[in-house]
Amino acid sequence: MPILKSTYTEKDFQTLAWNEHIRLRPGMYIGKLGDGSTPDDGLYVLIKEVIDNSVDEYAMGHGKIIRVTIEDNKVTVRDYGRGIPFGKVIDAANKMNTGAKYDNKTFQKAVGLNGVGLKVVNATSVDFHIASFRDGKSRYGTFSKGELLDEGEKDSTEKNGTLVSFVPDHELFNNYTIQQEFVEEMLKHYAYLNTGLKLQLNGKDFASKNGLLDLVNENMAEETLYPPIHLKGHDIEMVITHTDDTGESIMSFANGQNTSQGGTHLSVFREAVARTIKDFLKRDFELSDIRQSIVGAISIRLIEPKFANQTKTILDSREIAQGGPTVRSFISDFVKEQLDNYLHKNPTTADILLKKIIENEKERRAVSVVRRKSRETARKISLHNKKLRDCRVHFTDKNEQAEQSTLFITEGDSASGSITKSRDPNVQAVFSLRGKPENTYGMNKQVIYTNEEFNLLQAALNIEEDLDNLRYNNIVIATDADPDGMHIRMLLLSFFLQFFPELVRHGHVYILQTPLFRVRNKKETHYCYSEQEKDKSVKQLGPNPEITRFKGLGEISPEEFKEFIGEDIRLDKVRLDKDDRLPELLRFYMGDNTPQRREFIVNNLRLTEN
């Protein structure tokens, strides 16, 4: 094929306005452009960016109340801090890399230091209003999609502070709805991390007296083996306890920001806690045995934090402040001194902890022989065969693109073949199951190593020891929307919840939504995910459109699959609420209690006209 020649001149260059660049590539700044149905949608990043500024004011000693209202997808945030200096109100909203947080004397331990957040909210909103109140006067600006429509100054009776209201643009966020429950969860975190601050959402108050202890207790799904250990110091706070659950669940925060994907502070904290307990007990335990079944949280504050991504979910700082102690020494020294003191003063807790670690050690040794044999099997069976079609970028790469790294778990060769041909090989991998996996309920960890499917899946994810080297940020279960597919979905979820619940708690596990129908005429094709969407498309496309009911993923061609796993991918995040007690949950859905489940189905069956 001949190579087409093209010119490359000055005319090929273009300079975008600040708001045009944000609107062209909003995902660079706020992550996923969802419809508000999951808490990691970019909509909630917009809300967070505005609230962050108000929380930073409180952290500097100004304004103890932040009021948030949400009505008809319009978000308003009002704080009672110092108010933006009048000469910079407009610049704060529409000039990139403009803000007061570069001067660490003004905002010593702020979340955002790059002067971008508020501008992103402005550029992605169809209606944006900002007002500063200072000493009986107000300075305001009104924008649409980043373009200034009106500005002015007037007398005001309002108390000092700042007000920001915005309506996200439906052109960027299709058919979105802001879910109040996700915003409530966000405000709870702000309250836990800023004791003394009161936040309101549509009149509902959120405040905390006990900080991270309240946070851990609120999210506790299992009974603790001993009272949570709560320790506080200057710019650091920690909570740890153990349960009978499997895995490890530690939340991390930096300057009040929920670093959901961890970072330097979480890695150091996990190691410091395990080593301190090991040294106190004077036993040569494996660190993994100490961390097994641990639940907790760590929060630190530092000057000029560095994050590995714009959404600030991974802390990348190495120092607490320029020229100050390292994050490692700061956290390690605190944990070593304070946790060791606590254990000396609380021998009952220390005894319970010792017994739990011994139990963990026995369980690990019980599967060690099986594990060694399984490793030999894993070496002999290459992961680069039909089981796994890998991608080029992995979550361990710790960059913006790595957050998109995804492993699709499919059933059968036809479905995996279609996804493989239509995927983005840079960030999307495919793991193909062979038939239905085993029901792991009630089994111990040996099944992971004796079952070839689970052994290879664990190896593909690289989660045998912990989540530190998890290879894919998103683990997507992609099964047919039929009874067999739903059963396989339940079996896989049981496997993850039984042995790796932290994958779910940290938000890594999703269900892929694929269309049930294709409705088309000679001009248009609509893919429909429900009967309602199908009926709507039939009306839109006129008389007698062609309607295809997809029975399985294998019937969807690779060309069509590109429509479903690209930018418009529909994913349902698997979530664990604090009221979801895993043992009871797994026992009911996966245990040997068929009559009880049958009764539940009959009593809750919803019949339709068809």
- How far, in Å, CA of 558 to CA of 471, rounded? 25
pLDDT for res 437: 85
pLDDT for res 131: 96
Residues 432, 553 contacting (CB under 8 angstroms): no
Note the pLDDT tens digit of each residue in 50-59: 999 999 899 8
Q: Which two tokens stand for residue 570?
A: 């529909």
Q: Of 430, 514, 517, which is closest to residue 479 (Cα–Cα)?
A: 514
Number of H helices, E strands in the chain: 21, 22
Question: Does the pLDDT of residue 451 top 90, yes or no?
Answer: no
More confident residue, 379 or 436: 436
Question: Does the pLDDT of residue 107 top 60, yes or no?
Answer: no
- How far, in Å, CA of 13 to CA of 81, rounded? 43
Alpha-carbon dihedral 516, 607, 588, 244, rounded to 10 degrees = 60
Note the pLDDT tens digit of each residue in 564-586: 888 778 888 888 766 566 767 77
CA distances from 535 to 155, 480, 525 (A): 55, 22, 14
- How far, in Å, CA of 452 to CA of 447, rounded? 9
Residues sharing a CB contact under 8 Å with residue 348, sequence separation 6 or more, in sequence order:
226
More confident residue, 115 or 82: 82
- How far, in Å, CA of 441 to CA of 586, rounded? 7
Residues 126, 169 contacting (CB under 8 angstroms): yes
* pTM of the full structure: 0.72
- What mean pLDDT comes out for the span 509-519? 90
Among 271-275, 504-508, 597-601, the range of highest mean pLDDT: 271-275
What is the gyration radius of the CA atoms in the chain, in angstroms? 26
Q: Where are the beta strands (DSSP E) in 146-265?
A: 147-155, 161-168, 198-201, 204-206, 229-233, 236-242, 249-254, 257-258
User: Confidence class of residue 375 from pLDDT cuts 50, 70 and 90?
Assistant: low
Question: Does the pLDDT of residue 387 top 50, yes or no?
Answer: yes
Question: Does the pLDDT of residue 115 top 70, yes or no?
Answer: no
- How far, in Å, CA of 242 to CA of 234, rounded? 25
Question: Does the pLDDT of residue 384 top 70, yes or no?
Answer: no
pLDDT for res 572: 87
pLDDT for res 98: 58
Question: Does the pLDDT of residue 608 top 60, yes or no?
Answer: no
Q: Which of 86-95, 341-350, 462-471, 492-501 has the lowest mean pLDDT?
A: 462-471
Q: Of 399, 378, 561, which is closest to residue 476 (Cα–Cα)?
A: 561
CA distances from 512 to 178, 284, 346, 412, 479 (A): 21, 44, 48, 16, 8
Q: Let me know if 284 is exposed, middle or buried by CB neighbors in 10 A (0-12, 13-18, 19+).
A: exposed
Among 220-229, 326-335, 578-587, 594-603, the range of highest mean pLDDT: 326-335
Task: Enumerate long-range contacts of 144-149, CB under 8 Å, 24 or more apart.
Answer: 145/19, 145/23, 145/169, 146/17, 146/18, 146/19, 146/20, 146/22, 146/23, 146/94, 146/119, 146/122, 147/19, 148/90, 148/94
- What single-letter DSSP state applies at residue 227? P
Q: Of 324, 306, 323, which is closest to residue 315 (Cα–Cα)?
A: 306
How far does Cα 372 stand from its chain's mean position?
34
Among 129-143, 165-179, 529-543, the range of highest mean pLDDT: 129-143
How far does Cα 539 stand from its chain's mean position?
38
List, in order of start, the domains of the chain with CATH numbers. Answer: 18-206 (3.30.565.10), 212-361 (3.30.230.10), 368-514+552-604 (3.40.50.670), 517-549 (no CATH)
Question: Does the pLDDT of residue 430 top 90, yes or no?
Answer: yes
Residues 216, 338 contacting (CB under 8 angstroms): no
- How far, in Å, CA of 140 to CA of 160, rounded? 13
Question: Does the pLDDT of residue 103 top 70, yes or no?
Answer: no
- What single-letter DSSP state applies at residue 219? H
Could you write out the DSSP letters of every residue in 425-481?
A: TTTEEEEEE-SPPP--TT--THHHHHSHHHHHHHHHHT-SS-STT-S-SEEEEE--S
More confident residue, 342 or 531: 342
- What mean pLDDT comes out for the span 451-461? 87
- What mean pLDDT comes out for the span 468-482? 89
Question: Does the pLDDT of residue 43 top 60, yes or no?
Answer: yes
Residues 101, 73 contacting (CB under 8 angstroms): no
Residues 604, 596 contacting (CB under 8 angstroms): no
- How far, in Å, CA of 310 to CA of 308, rounded? 7
pLDDT for res 429: 94
Residues sharing a CB contact under 8 Å with residue 439, sequence separation 6 or more, in sequence order:
491, 494, 590
- How far, in Å, CA of 125 to CA of 145, rounded? 5
User: Confidence class of residue 12 from pLDDT cuts 50, 70 and 90?
Assistant: low
- What mean pLDDT comes out for the span 531-539? 90
- Average pLDDT of the chain to the nearest whole number: 85
- What percent of the chain stands above pLDDT 90? 46
Residues sharing a CB contact under 8 Å with residue 24, sequence separation 6 or more, in sequence order:
16
Residue with token string 């405040």? 207
How far does Cα 276 stand from its chain's mean position?
29
Q: Of 45, 37, 43, 35, which is closest to residue 74 (Cα–Cα)?
A: 43
- What single-letter DSSP state applies at residue 233? E
Backbone torsions φ then ψ of 151, nearest 5 degrees: -150, 160
Question: Does the pLDDT of residue 313 top 80, yes or no?
Answer: no
pLDDT for res 102: 42
- How far, in Å, CA of 242 to CA of 222, rounded? 9
pLDDT for res 113: 42
